[in-house]
Amino acid sequence: MTAIQEAAATGRSVATADTILAVKDVVVEFPRPRQNVGFRAVNGVTFNLNRGETLGLVGESGSGKSMTALSLLGIVPAPGKIVEGSISLRGRRIDNLGLKEMRTIRGKDIGMVFQDPMTGLNPVRSVGAQLTESVMRHQNVTRAEAEEIAFRALDQVSIPSPRDRLKAFPHELSGGLRQRVMISLALINHPEVIIADEATTALDATIQAQILDLFRLRLTKATMIIITHDMGVAAEICDRIAVMYAGRIVETGTIAEVLSNPRHPYTVGLLAAVPRFDIRRPKLVPIPGVPPTAEDIIRGCAFKSRCKFAQAKCDERPPLTHLGGRLASCWFPRGA
């Protein structure tokens, strides 16, 4: 079987010469106390990210979006770890690298905007010291040049009085400013891949629009993974989307395809929960029920307890298969 035939048969996207990141069957597991079956925060995630492409990762809280991102950088918090699968950057395995090699990749090849800015910032070093140090580690410049690059980076994310902010420590900044410092730190060495985890959630609407412009204009010519709760944001800046539920991708395809004709009942539910007219902010319609928790042992389709179309067949896990131009894992898909 050729790679393409295999992809068609197994419902997986094919890695091409333009593939920057290839994520294959990744499982991130946390041990469960007094049980020999761990909790799989990420449960067999596969996707390819091609050059210049923006992939949106969406899904309810706890679906494994952040864990997927952290696994790409080799920074899953202990005692969690990657127990299966592989991650390749331009064809080279990076899931089995040592700390030092991984540190080189972080920042230079892959820049990450963390959901919690305090995860990505050092609390005891000034903003300027962190930015300057990162530039000097990855670019061949003098300290004075690095400081100038740091200044411009803060200016670019609309931080007022950037010279003064360079002297500030992370805790001296508001949440919104800290988030923008994180963004500038992620972009400063022009990484080929940017992962932005809820990068704009803490920001007010005007700044959010500016940051999205920055991402959208691809000033850094980056390939991106955007993690967001906001389908509007995803629709605006992503080329492709992957919908996660209980650690798995349940539907993935181009934005146009998935948003205009969602096939998985969970995607249908998520889209129904999106306000159509932002200005009037009509009430969100939540999907009834709750997602499985870390204590639940899932058999078959993880969505079945909340799905009004579930049948006996759903006790068997639905594979991710081709459905009209996208992949979805459902025995009884919606739409057509």
Ligand X SMILES: Nc1ncnc2c1ncn2[C@@H]1O[C@H](COP(=O)(O)OP(=O)(O)OP(=O)(O)O)[C@@H](O)[C@H]1O
Whole-number minimum distance, CB 224 to ligand X, in Å?
Answer: 17
Q: What are phi and psi of 57, to 5 degrees?
A: -110, 115
Q: Answer yes or no whether residue 232 interacts with ligand X by CB under 6 A.
A: no
Whole-number minimum distance, CB 107 to ligand X, in Å?
Answer: 21
Question: Rounded to an integer, what distance in angstroms lies between the CA atom of residue 60 and that of residue 287?
Answer: 10
Closer residue to ligand X (CB): 9 or 294 = 294
Q: Answer yes or no whether residue 41 interacts with ligand X by CB under 6 A.
A: yes
Question: Rounded to an integer, what distance in angstroms lies between the CA atom of residue 67 and that of residue 89?
Answer: 18
288 residue type, one letter = P
DSSP 216-245: HTTTT--EEEEE-S-HHHHHHH-SEEEEEE
List the single partner that 179 binds among ligand X, Mg ion, none, CB under 5 to 8 Å by kind. Answer: none
165 residue type, one letter = R
Instruction: Tell which phi-psi region holds residue 304, choosing left (phi > 0), alpha (psi between -120 and 50) or beta.
Output: alpha
Closer residue to ligand X (CB): 67 or 231 = 67
Question: Rounded to an integer, what distance in angstroms lies between the CA atom of residue 227 and that of residue 55?
Answer: 8
Closer residue to ligand X (CB): 76 or 146 = 76
List the single partner that 156 binds among ligand X, Mg ion, none, CB under 5 to 8 Å by kind. Answer: none
Q: How far is CA 244 from CA 22, 65, 201, in A?
A: 17, 7, 19
140 residue type, one letter = N
Q: Answer yes or no whether residue 115 interacts with ligand X by CB under 6 A.
A: yes
Closer residue to Mg ion (CB): 60 or 251 = 60
Among 7, 13, 14, 30, binds ligand X (CB under 6 A): 30
DSSP 187-217: HTT--SEEEEESTTTTS-HHHHHHHHHHHHT
Whole-number minimum distance, CB 62 to ligand X, in Å?
Answer: 4
Whole-number minimum distance, CB 43 to Mg ion, in Å?
Answer: 16
Whole-number minimum distance, CB 66 to Mg ion, in Å?
Answer: 3
Closer residue to ligand X (CB): 46 or 66 = 66
Site for ligand X in 293-312 (CB under 6 A): 294
Neighbours of 59 (CB within 10 A): 26
Site residues (CB under 5 A) for Mg ion?
66, 115
Among 19, 66, 156, 220, binds ligand X (CB under 6 A): 66
Whole-number minimum distance, CB 60 to Mg ion, in Å?
Answer: 10
Name the one range near ligand X by CB under 6 A: 55-63, 98-106, 251-259, 282-290. Answer: 55-63
Q: Answer yes or no whether residue 196 interacts with ligand X by CB under 6 A.
A: no
Q: Where are the alpha helices (DSSP H) in the chain?
A: 3-10, 65-72, 99-108, 117-120, 127-138, 143-156, 162-167, 175-187, 205-216, 231-237, 255-260, 265-272
Whole-number minimum distance, CB 10 to ligand X, in Å?
Answer: 25
Question: Rounded to an integer, what distance in angstroms lies between the CA atom of residue 260 and that of residue 59?
Answer: 17
Q: Answer yes or no whether residue 62 interacts with ligand X by CB under 6 A.
A: yes
Tell me which residue has its CB nearest to Mg ion.
66
Closer residue to ligand X (CB): 177 or 244 = 244
Please choose, from the candidates 99, 129, 95, the residue with its C-alpha nearest in 3D space to the C-alpha of residue 23.
95
Whole-number minimum distance, CB 55 to Mg ion, in Å?
Answer: 16
Please choose, from the candidates 121, 190, 184, the residue with its C-alpha nearest in 3D space to the C-alpha of residue 156.
184
**Site residues (CB under 6 A) for ligand X?**
30, 41, 59, 61-67, 77, 80, 115, 294
